[in-house]
Structures are given as structure tokens and as C-alpha cells.
Amino acid sequence: MTRSSASEIAFRCKKKHPKGQLSVTGYTPCLSDSGRIEGKGLSYILAGTGFWTGLPKTEVGEIDTRAPFQSVKAAVSLFGEVAVPKERGRRTPRKSRISAENVIDKETQLLLAEKEFNNIKQKLESDEATKAKADSELESAKQKLQELSEKLRAVTESKKSAIEAAEAVKQYGSELELKKSQYGQEYEERNKELETAREQYLAVAIELDAKKQELNKIRQDFDAALEVKLAAFQQAAEAQLSAKMHSERVAELTKQITAMKEAIKQVKFATQQVYNEQEAIAADKEMLKKSHMAAKEEAEKKLSASREFSIRVEIEEVKMKQAQQNEIKARKEAERESLNGDHNARLQQLLLEAETARKEAKEMKNNIETLRKDANAAEMAVKEVKQKLEQALEQAGHAKAAEKKALDNMRKIAAAMAELEAIITSKNEADEKVEENLKAIEEIKAATEMAEKSAASAETAQSVLEGELRRRRQQEELVRSATMAYPNRLGFGRTGSASSASVAVRRKDGGFGRKSQKSNDYGAFRRTFKRHSTTNGNDWRRVDDWAMTGPGRRFHWARR
């Protein structure tokens, strides 16, 4: 008994009962004395006669029993094995059945392997689809991150411009404070405007600090999204590598399956040739048997018709014919034995090929199992990538919300900048008024110069000038000290006396000097204090400028 795993063998009788069928599942059957086919733990009913050929059949049951067997020997004789020794006659069909069973086993195993291969191929295709989807989602996330980075750049640039504008406003406010300290009570109203501008500047600075914090948060979110994107790219590369390895393994399996298919085709072709040769031998045997029976019947008729000398002659002829038939039969038996030997060798070769095919199928099954595990791992990796992409999309949504907030804040900053521009325009107007006042002061100084020509009007002009220039007392003191310290540089050395040669005037550049009455040239000196803003506070830096011009030469020197 040889077991056939996952195979079905059906036999059909061809000679006397062509409609009779037999379906066997499980073990290789054997004939009992009662005309039944029995196996280990199984019982089968045989019906019909003739030669059996292997055909796949799924149903098991009784078949036509109109012509049952008389005995096991009669059933065996139907297979054309009457004149063959028992051992040899039993081994040949059993080996053919074993080879057929092995071929069917290999076919079923191949079908199962092909099914598993198709399933793995479908899983790989689904994995590739999910990978493509993940790549598209990664590209979209990358584009969104680029957009966010561009928006962050725009926000930072706008922030820088706002900071520069705030610094300009701060400098302008410091200048206004300086001018207010210089011009005193006349600019009390401007002081109020400066206070309002300072408050607005503080509000803008607070808003800028808030925007800076929001930008830091956005930068942190952007860094986190960038890390998630890098991790997703790494996982996508790993998934692509595993998919490539799976594709290579699938290609190897396809090559192995094609080789197994070709081997199975060769086995089928060889078994079909063996069956055809056995059928030809059985047909020749049947024809010889029929001719022998016909000759025997004719001999018996002739024996019954004549009992004389002719009967002996005919018997001799019959013996001669029988001897010839025996010789022919012996030749046929020899040919059949040689063919059986060739067939046995070919069957052994086919069995070896089937064994190798079984081993290859087992290896292919193991490879398919590993591929299935790898596909499951790839699927899990793709799921993780998908989850991380969803998280990245959520973070991108948060980044969009932060971007909207930043845009709103930028709008607020733009409104604040508009207010600052309005303040700057008002300050420009204040500067124009200051220039007008300076022009008025220059006119007053010109009037004082005209008043100095007479002694009586000089005192009144001096009092008016002191009343008008009380706000500039510190500058006057500095100018006086400079005139005392540097008389030659102011032109007093050339004329001999300051009162007769030059007049103290205020130049257009804001400094004080002496104007020569003769040559209308300036020998000028200016010492001012400029207020410089630092991080620790406000400090004063002195600037000394000397400018001296005359016929034929120009000279300018500055010290800081």
C-alpha cells in the first residue's frame, strides 16, 4: 500500500462495459476475493470490466453492476495478464498506478503552490499600491512643508522689516526726545505725541515679541514635521528595498515553477507513451488469443466431423499452427519483456524526476512562506508609514492654523505700521515746524547783528536775543568757551579783534561760527553733543568740527 496525499484517481473500463467507472480516494486499492477493491480503512466497489486508465474524478460511489466478476482471477485476466507470471504481472500496473498517483500528487502540489504564489503576488501588488499611495502622500506633505517654509521665510522677512521699522521709530523717538529737551516748553504738545508714539511702539514691541514666540512654535512644529518626513522617507526606502527583494524572489519562483511544469509535461508525455505501448501490446495479445480460439474451434469441428486419418493430419496441422503461435507468442513475450524493462527504467527515471520536483516544490513552499512573512512585515511597515503620514498631515494642519494666526498677526502688524507711518508723518510735520522756528531764530540773529552796529540798540537786541535763545543756553556757552579756547581758528588772529573783524552767527548746518565782514568768508567752529542710544542707556558723545575757508584754500577737520 502506498499513500496518495491530496489526490484522486478514477478508472474507467473500456472494453465490455465502457460506462462503468470507479473513483478511489485515499490509499492505493487492492482486489479482494469478493470482487471489491479494499484499502486501509476504506472499501470501494468495482463495476465493469476492461482496461483501467487514470482519470481524475471527484465523486465516490457504486457503479453499474450488471456484469459482476466471477472471481479475482477473472478480474485480473481482463487486464491482459493471464500468461504473465504473478509477481511480474502485479508489479507493472501497480508501478504505473504509483507513477500516476505521484504525477497527480505533484500536479495538486503545483496547483497549491501556484495558488499561494498568486496570493503572494496579489499581496505584493497591494503593497506596491499602498507604497505608491504613501509616496504620493509624502510628496504632498513635502510640498506642504515647502509652502510652510516659504511662508516662514516671508514671516521672518516681515518680522525683520517690522523690527527695522520699530528701530527707526525708536531712533526717531529718541531724536524727538532730544529735540524736546532742546526746545523746552514749546514742544510740550509734541511731547504728548511722543508719549503716544512710545506707547504705540511698546504695544508694537509686545506684539512683535508675541509673534516671535509664535514663530518659534511654528519653527518647532516645522522641525518636528521635518523629522517625521525624514523617518517616512527612510521607511519608504526600506519598504522599496523589501519589495525589490520580494520581486526577485518571485522571479526565481516563477523560473522554478516553469521548470517544474516542463518536467511534469515530460513525465506526462512519457507515461502516455507507456500507456499507448501497453494498449498496443494488449491489443496484439487479444488478437492472437482470438485467432488461437478460432483455430481451436475449427480443429474441434474438424475432429468431430471426421474420425479418420484426416483427423490426424489436421491435428498435426493444428499442432504445427499451435507451435507457430507459441513461437509468435514467445517472441511477443520477449518483446514485451524488453519493453517492460525499458518502461521500468523510464519509470525509475520519472520517479526520480518526480522526487526532485517534490523537493523543489517543498523548497518553493518554504520560499513562499518566507515571502508571505516578508509581505506581512512589509504590510506592517506600510501601515506604520501611513500612520506617520497621517500624523504629519495633522501636524501640517496645525501648521496651517499657525500660519493663519501668523497672517492675522501680520495684518495687525501692517495696521500698526500704518499707524506708525501716520506718526512719522506727524513727526515730519513737527520737523518742518522746527525748521520754521530755526529760520525764525536765524532771522532774529540777523536782526541782532544789525542791532550790534549801534550801542543803544545793541543792549535791547542782546536782551531780545537772550530771551529768544534761552533754550539754547548750553550751546551758547559751549560756543563762547570755544571762541576763548581757539581764537586763531575762528579768524581773530588775522583781524586783531573779534568785534571788528567777525560776527557770531548760526550757520545753516546748525553750528555756530564767526562771519568775516570784509571777505564774507567763514572761519567756523562747532562743538555739539550728540545723543547716542546704546543697549545700557543713553550717553553723550562729543563732536568737534572745525571748518576754515579763505581765498585760495579750504580746510575741514572733524574729530569724534
pLDDT tens column, 23-45: 333 334 444 444 444 443 333 33
pLDDT tens column, 502-558: 444 444 444 444 444 443 434 444 444 444 444 444 444 444 444 443 444 343 343
Task: Determine which of 197-211, 393-407, 491-505 has the lowest per-residue pLDDT on average.
Answer: 491-505
Average pLDDT over residues 319-343: 72
pLDDT tens column, 73-113: 666 666 544 444 444 445 555 656 677 778 888 888 888 88
Task: Determine which of 363-372, 394-403, 523-532 has the lowest per-residue pLDDT on average.
Answer: 523-532
- The mean pLDDT of the chain is 64
Q: Furthest-apart CA pair in the chain: how many Å?
A: 205
C-alpha cell at 529: 553733543
Asked whether residue 394 carries a pLDDT value surpassing 70, the answer given is yes
Amino acid 291: pLDDT: 74
- Contacts with 35 (C-beta within 8 Å, 6 or more apart), sequence order: 46, 68, 69, 71, 72, 75
Average pLDDT over residues 397-406: 68
Amino acid 416: pLDDT: 66
Amino acid 378: pLDDT: 64
pLDDT tens column, 293-317: 777 777 666 666 655 566 566 667 7
Phi, psi of 350, deg, nearest 5 = -65, -40
Average pLDDT over residues 239-250: 71
Amino acid 557: pLDDT: 40
Asked whether residue 391 carries a pLDDT value surpassing 50, the answer given is yes
Q: For the chain, count helices (H), then strands (E).
A: 8, 11
Amino acid 343: pLDDT: 60
From the list 378, 396, 376, 377, the residue with the least C-alpha distance to 137 is 396
Amino acid 462: pLDDT: 62
Strands 42-45 and 3-13: unpaired
Asked whether residue 264 carries a pLDDT value surpassing 80, the answer given is no
How distant is the alpha carbon of residue 213 from its chain centre?
Answer: 33
Asked whether residue 418 carries a pLDDT value surpassing 80, the answer given is no
pLDDT tens column, 186-233: 657 766 776 777 787 777 778 777 777 877 777 787 777 677 767 767
Strands 30-31 and 36-39: antiparallel
Amino acid 538: pLDDT: 42
From the list 525, 518, 519, the residue with the least C-alpha distance to 483 is 525
Amino acid 459: pLDDT: 66
Q: Is the distance from CB of 389 to CB of 138 less than 8 angstroms?
A: yes
Amino acid 31: pLDDT: 42
Asked whether residue 139 carries a pLDDT value surpassing 80, the answer given is yes
Domain boundaries, given as residue ranges, for the chain: 3-79, 116-426, 472-560
pLDDT tens column, 421-466: 777 777 777 777 777 777 767 776 666 566 566 556 656 666 666 6
Average pLDDT over residues 497-504: 40
For the chain, what percent of residues have pLDDT higher than 70?
A: 43
Amino acid 329: pLDDT: 74
Nearest-5° Cα angle at 336, 326 to 297: 35
Amino acid 522: pLDDT: 40
Asked whether residue 415 carries a pLDDT value surpassing 50, the answer given is yes
Using the 8-state DSSP alphabet, how is residue 535 labeled? S
Burial label, 69 (beta-carbon count in 10 A; 0-12, 13-18, 19+): buried
Alpha-carbon distance 253 to 53, whole Å?
Answer: 33
Amino acid 506: pLDDT: 46
Amino acid 59: pLDDT: 44
Amino acid 99: pLDDT: 75
Amino acid 515: pLDDT: 42
